[in-house]
Structure 1
Amino acid sequence: MESSKNMVSKLLNSAGIHVNGNQPWDITVHNDHFYPGVLKHGSLALGESYMAGWWDAPRPDEMINRILSAKLEDKIRGSWQLKKDILLSRIFNFQHPEQSFKNGRKHYDLGNDLFEIMLDKRMTYTCAFWENANNLDEAQENKLDLTCRKLHLKPGMRVLDIGCGWGSFARFAAERYGAHVTGITISEEQAELAKTRCAGLPVDIRVMDYRSMNEKFDAIASLGMFEHVGYRNYHAYMQMARHCLDDNGLFLLHTIGGNKSHSMADPWLDKYIFPHANIPSVSQIGKAMEDFFVMEHWQNFSTNYDQTLMAWYHNVNDNWDELADDYDEVFRRMWNYYLMSCAGSFRARFSQLWQVVLSPNGVRGGYKIAAD
């Protein structure tokens, strides 16, 4: 135990993190089993030990920022279980249609009450765009409007919203741009609330897997859904989008991105938050789209996700009294760790947020974002 304590303390010190220090990112350890667990199981044990209350820090987001910036994960040998999970993810398709419904429902059916408190008034569960915004509501409307302008939306256009969530983009595109939107989700709870929120608008919400879609659209948006597709399905996803997109249409892919190619997500996030998800790399996206699309525009506004996640964190904790009867303290620590660790990941530039605009044949004369 003592040797593992010394080793972990030394690793943390190299990232400017001190056990029982007085900086917001310093760690206080309440249970010494934390040390051998982290050495053996890395990020999975770090998250699980936080859920169990074995350690605390005033700012876990800043702690994760420093851990990732110092590349400490490269200095801790991965466990055999993690190596086995990576091997299995390369052999089996954990995002086949039946499994994808189970994967999505584990997260998105946790309870609309949680997400209504956490998110903006439109319930937009993707990165906001904070330029010239004073609050989360404005930042999310900025993002939705930017998305519509990138797609060159006009009244009467038929738009497919893949992974429509609670209908925030569908409602915005219908209200502000007069689009006719078909939104698809694998969550029945999302679909039910989305239908209510989009009532009276030209919006059709369906519970279905994207692979079942076989209609033509003038534009396609995919906001925060590609992370659940799985790298074995990237090619099929792009093929579906091309099949459903008019020859003169535009496809906007909004996704978290990684600096390196992987076949599975962080093991803690995989186990507790987004089962069998995967964060795509530039090369994985490029390889998947090369038979179907021309890349017109690629924007990275990943630091906006840091700010978005911290806004969600404050919304949850400032209003926890409204959730406490339905979610216990272990869940609260789990959820806080999810939001703060992801914020730290974007702050460290370990994770990215991309909006990619694609066209089937290239926009004649060149692509431009429509004026505000």
Structure 2
Amino acid sequence: MADAAQRLTALAEDLLGSPLPVRLRAWDGSEAGPAEGPVLVVRQRRALRRLLWKPGELGLARAWVAGEIDVEGDLYEVLDRLAGLLWDRGDRDDAPSVHPVRDPKLRAAAKALLKLGGPLPPPPPPAEELRRRSGRLHTRGRDKQVVSHHYDVGNDFYALVLGPSMVYSCAYWTPGGTLEDAQHDKLDLIARKLALKPGDRLLDVGCGWGSMAMHAARAYGAEVVGITLSREQAAFARKRIADEGLADKVEIRVQDYRDVKDGPYDAISSIGMAEHVGSVRYREYADDLYALLRPGGRLLNHQISRRPEPDEEAYRVDPFIDAYVFPDGELAPMGRTLSILEEAGFEVRDVEALREHYALTLREWVGNLEEHWARAVRLTSPARARIWRLYMAASAVSFERNRIGVNQFLAVRTPESGASGLPLRPRRWTETDGAGPTRTETD
């Protein structure tokens, strides 16, 4: 066989009804497709068997994680080109809906893949895939399992990817700034939105490696309780806090948000944690945080969102993300999050969309990973490093194409008096926005 690439390309173009937008190189050395740009490499025939047994994204993801497919050239460009066929094609109202058994074109494609890939049984999924989970969805025990899968892969690995800030959420960029600058500015933005001052009690839900807790204590004099389900994160955060001399101001607990009972707090920050809560628990989450705040206290909820679905009942978690990255994670449309916060009693006073900021952040993280690739592989495994490279690069493209967003919700437990405590004009809308033009006598 010396024409595998040509046969695969013809098969893909017949199914898609359009030219394949990337060049393809097969295991036999053959190539087909556009002469310019990056190359999608199918290194082993067994990748085709994965697609036969798990058609779609999960089969492709397994082949990527196992190193059976790869990219030569710009990974972002490959993802962007394929997004136009896969993501955007699936969003069209006229996108065909076919039965995989009854449709003759798909039956013929399956036979062709079987001939190219060989009749052997399906390869086992890569070991990094999380396939077994115990307990009902979003119970305390199950949440602890899946959080450990994602976060307990080694603090040294996260330090390599995230950089010295150890902040694992969207940064807040200004032109020409560094990742460290942008993460500092994000933490400070949150502290200012919460109006932190010396002596305030702050609860940091999903505190990660302690960066927000440390910033609030060091720069604003707050007394902070940070909670996480990851023991590795907690151990790392406690050491950082002790080294900074902040142990008298910051306490880190391995604790579920549902088990925090020592309110009231003056402020609560939840940064990149609510994605783990799940739709079945989100109202409970909002109710719990509302109950933990004093009247007049503020919540800053920083959360990734997805675009609304035409049929919300049809929403399904991304199979690659669910199996390899954030098991049981769910994204909600921005409007749904806002509604539930209001239903819980909060007055939502501000929503700031930071979609482009997360794309920039992810590209920096991917750059850190690629720059230190050999060490990342030693710290985890080749498969784990490949998971993270694909997950972060694909997420960057998703933010850039407005498939997902990220938003900061500032909400207040407004007291009966109605005094929110917020200034009349807290926001600026352009780089040069200030007080506005000078008024004249005729205005």
Q: Is the 8 A contact 1:64 1:345 kept in 2?
A: no
- TM-score when scaled to structure 1? 0.87
Partner SS, residue 252 of structure 2: strand
Q: How does 1:180-259 map to 2 (within 5 A)?
A: 180-199=223-242, 200-201=245-246, 202-214=249-261, 215-259=263-307
1:49 equivalent in structure 2: 63
Q: 1:143 aligns with which of 186, 192, 195?
A: 186
2:107 equivalent in structure 1: none
1:72 equivalent in structure 2: 89
Q: How does 1:275-294 map to 2 (within 5 A)?
A: 275-291=327-343, 292-294=345-347
Q: Deviations over 1:220-260 (max 9, x none)?
A: 10000001001101100000110001110110110111002
Q: Is the 8 A contact 1:151 1:250 kept in 2?
A: yes
Q: Is the 8 A contact 1:68 1:348 kept in 2?
A: no
Residues 170/24 of structure 1: CA separation in 2 closer, same or farther (3 Å cut)? farther
Partner SS, residue 387 of structure 2: helix
Residues 271/158 of structure 1: CA separation in 2 closer, same or farther (3 Å cut)? same
Q: 1:158 aligns with which of 182, 201, 204?
A: 201
Q: 1:302 aligns with which of 331, 349, 355?
A: 355
Unaligned runs of 5+ in 2: 25-32, 101-134, 429-443
Larger Rg: 2
C-alpha distance in structure 1 between counterparts of 2:347 and 2:291, whole Å: 14
Q: Is the 8 A contact 1:30 1:54 kept in 2?
A: yes
C-alpha distance in structure 1 between counterparts of 2:99 and 2:252, whole Å: 43
Unaligned runs of 5+ in 1: 81-91
Matched to 1:72, the amino acid is R
Partner SS, residue 159 of structure 1: strand
Q: Which has the higher contact order (CA 8 A, sep 6+)?
A: 1
Residues 76/355 of structure 1: CA separation in 2 closer, same or farther (3 Å cut)? farther
Q: Which moved more, 1:36-45 or 1:247-256?
A: 36-45
Deviation at 1:72, TM superposition (A): 3.2
Count of aligned pairs: 360
Q: How does 1:289-368 map to 2 (within 5 A)?
A: 289-291=341-343, 292-361=345-414, 363=420, 368=425
CA RMSD of aligned residues (A): 2.8
Q: Is the 8 A contact 1:227 1:278 kept in 2?
A: yes
C-alpha distance in structure 2 between counterparts of 1:114 and 1:103, whole Å: 18
Partner SS, residue 251 of structure 1: strand
Deviation at 1:61, TM superposition (A): 2.6
1:87 equivalent in structure 2: none
2:285 pairs with 1:268:
no
Partner SS, residue 156 of structure 1: coil
Q: 1:61 aligns with which of 33, 51, 76?
A: 76
Matched to 2:369, the amino acid is V
Partner SS, residue 145 of structure 1: helix
1:89 equivalent in structure 2: none
- TM-score when scaled to structure 2? 0.74
C-alpha distance in structure 1 between counterparts of 2:367 and 2:298, whole Å: 36
Q: How does 1:80-119 map to 2 (within 5 A)?
A: 93-119=136-162
Q: Which moved more, 1:279-288 or 1:15-24?
A: 15-24
1:84 equivalent in structure 2: none
Residues 141/133 of structure 1: CA separation in 2 closer, same or farther (3 Å cut)? farther
C-alpha distance in structure 2 between counterparts of 1:227 and 1:127, whole Å: 13
2:116 equivalent in structure 1: none
Q: Is the 8 A contact 1:133 1:139 kept in 2?
A: no
Structure with higher helix content: 1
Residues 79/140 of structure 1: CA separation in 2 closer, same or farther (3 Å cut)? farther
Q: Is the 8 A contact 1:125 1:165 kept in 2?
A: yes
C-alpha distance in structure 2 between counterparts of 1:36 and 1:72, whole Å: 24
Matched to 2:278, the amino acid is G
Q: Is the 8 A contact 1:264 1:277 kept in 2?
A: no
